[in-house]
Amino acid sequence: MFRIVQRILLGLTYILILPLSAAASGRGDQELVKAGSWVYDAITSLALEEGKTDFSDQAPLTVKELLSFLDEIDYDALSSAGQMQYDRVMYYFAEQDIAFRSDIFSFGVAPELNLEGYYKSDDELGWVYDRYERQPLILLPVKFQAQDWFTMEMDLQLAQKKTQMSKRSGYNYTNIPFAGDQIDVNFPYTAYFSTGLSLTEKAAMNFQLGMGEQSVGRSVLGSVIQSEYFTGASYANLELFTPDFRYNMNVTQFNVDKYLYTHRFDVRLFRKVQLSVQESVLVNAPLELRFLNPLTIFHGMAPWRDYEPEKDDSEGHTCAYLAVKASYVPVRYLRIYGLFAQDQLQTAYEMENWPDNVTPNGLGAQLGVEGYVPLGGGYLHAAAEASYTDPYFYIKESPNWSLVRTYSDNGTTGGVTPLYEWIGSPFGPDTMAAALDVGYEVPGHWSVGGLFLVMAQGEYADYNVFDSVHWGGQKTAMTDDELKSWVYPDTGKPGGKDYAKKQQSWTSPFGRDTPPQYTIRASLRAGYTPFAFPALSLMAQPSYVLVLNYGNEEGRVEQGFEFALSANFRFGKLFQ
């Protein structure tokens, strides 16, 4: 049966895209592997099998850098599952698009078809298999590259709008857009130019100009520093790297006149310990040359004094952001890691000498343990993680210099629905969460797994803080009167100093006038790719969600089941 289907699809593919199939082209050194790709999981499993750490906990990385991690792997010492995993990654890097080639240049496509269906029993609950998980009906990555010199790529697609995917009820049961006003016309969401140069056998540099997901720190719940749930932002990125040291300089544009400037240093010690330190500053102003200095200290510039110096409290239009991550591999198969970020920390000295100060702390942290153990022909994977975000983490005096991006669908009828994305945790501020992720995978063939999540959230969690202000989408200008409705503590707001000091002392998610919302969620996931027909992948995911004090309303309970089913077909696999 599979052979009959394969021949039919192969014939249709040749008819549709024969003009492009004049030659085949593999992946160049400068091609980027997108955040969230299975490749990062695979390389992590190989590193842990050898009892070491590497820099594959951030993305996107180039094929060149990822290959440098594999160069350290002793293939003959790997288990049978490890060798299968290694071969799978190397096969991916050698994979050929349907392409036309002329000398060193190639133009290729890698079309995919995704058919998905969803169901949930409670319309009040949000989706577990949400807009971050869902795939477009048709995905067409288009790539132009010059061998290992540079790669340009963008993802064309036919998909539903983000707001359609986010609907909790109605006709949101498939990824097929049934009407013109359901079609997303804002693509591409991922596009980039990447070029680089090898300096020595182990040292190289890379420059990227692109848009799409970036992540800093590998985690179960989404990195509190920067996660793949922060999508669609444009960025410029410079990297210098060896297997033991990395330097990163990055500028990410959230919205018009809203830029995050970053530099980060990563070091690996004894192949067992990895440490990273990142300093960033978010500025609500046009692009400025002073922040593009590749080796400076942003905080030393005191930029918060420059934009509204006539005000008594001139700390405006900026957000200082500091982050640290660490990873330690004490024994083979096991990794212990921690992530920490802050956008505000009030020291004891400040609290003592400025008693009228009502600025709250903004801290976020994660701690976890992860293991990959070869078992039979596959890997047993397990990870446990806990995370905490302060009530005012990511939040500043205005949404315009808070660590959030906003946008909206184009061509929407019946009003525009703003969309929001925090830079890090998808659960936002004001949240305590813990998760256990367990699974088993035979690389490239089948997998089963489960995720159990418990979470307590205050009223500032998710994107609830934007309910009180008319900010989002293309509407980002705010008057002083509108800012009075913003949640950040201010002695000039209703309640005065007493209420502002009370807000300053809050911790997540307790001690408020409203009760915490408690969430218990369990999901199972199974995937299957036939050895005889690797162009096809199937996935099923049932979930159960129980929410107590739903919407921070005392005693309100919502619960329900959800089911998602997905079939992915990759036309390029027919040519391998």
- For position 25, which CATH number holds? 2.40.160.130
Angstrom distance (rounded) from CA 566 to CA 527:
9
pLDDT tens digit sequence for 345-378 = 888 888 888 888 888 999 999 999 999 999 989 9
DSSP-derived letter for residue 127 is P
In which domain, by residue range, is 49 found?
2-575
Backbone φ and ψ for 328, nearest 5 degrees, come out as: -140, 130
Residue-wise pLDDT for 375-425, tens only, equals 989 999 999 999 999 999 999 999 999 999 999 988 665 567 899 999 999
Residues in the chain: 576
CA dist., res. 434 & res. 366, Å (int): 9
User: Is residue 507 helix, strand or coil?
Assistant: strand
What are residue 566's DSSP bridge partners? Answer: 116, 539
pLDDT of residue 348: 83
Buried b (16+ CB within 10 A) or exposed e, 169-202: eeebebbebeeeebbbeebbbbbbbbbbeeeeee
DSSP secondary structure letter of residue 126? P
State the pLDDT confidence band at 427, using cuts at 50, 70 and 90: very high
Task: Give the H or E element holding residue 338.
Answer: strand 334-344
Is pLDDT above 70 for 311? no
In this predicted model, what pLDDT tens digit does every residue of 473-492 receive, in sequence order? Answer: 988 988 888 888 899 998 88
Residue 56 pLDDT > 70: yes
Q: What is the pLDDT of residue 147?
A: 93
Report whether pLDDT(198) > 80: yes
> Which one is predicted more confidently, 508 or 378?
378
Q: Report whether pLDDT(1) > 80.
A: no
Predicted pLDDT of residue 22: 43
Q: Angle at Cα 460 formed by Cα 399 and Cα 189, nearest 5°?
A: 55
Domain count, the chain: 1
- The whole-model pTM stands at 0.92
The confidence score (pLDDT) of residue 165 equals 78
Please tell me what DSSP assigns to residue 195. Answer: E
Residue 497 has pLDDT above 90, yes or no: no
Six-digit token pair at 310?
């006539």
pLDDT tier at 2, thresholds 50, 70, 90: very low
Contacts of 9 (CB under 8 A, 6+ apart): 535, 569, 571, 574
Provide the pLDDT for residue 212. Answer: 96
Q: With beta carbons less than 8 A apart as the criterion, state whether 78 and 88 touch.
A: no
Using a pLDDT cut of 70, give the percent of the chain over it.
Answer: 92
313 pLDDT exceeds 60?
no
Lowest mean pLDDT among 271-280, 432-441, 494-503: 494-503
For residues 513 and 460, give the distance between their C-alpha atoms in angstroms, rounded to a whole number: 13
> How many angstroms separate the CA atoms of 528 and 358, rounded?
54
Which stretches within 71-191 are classed as H helix? 80-94, 162-166
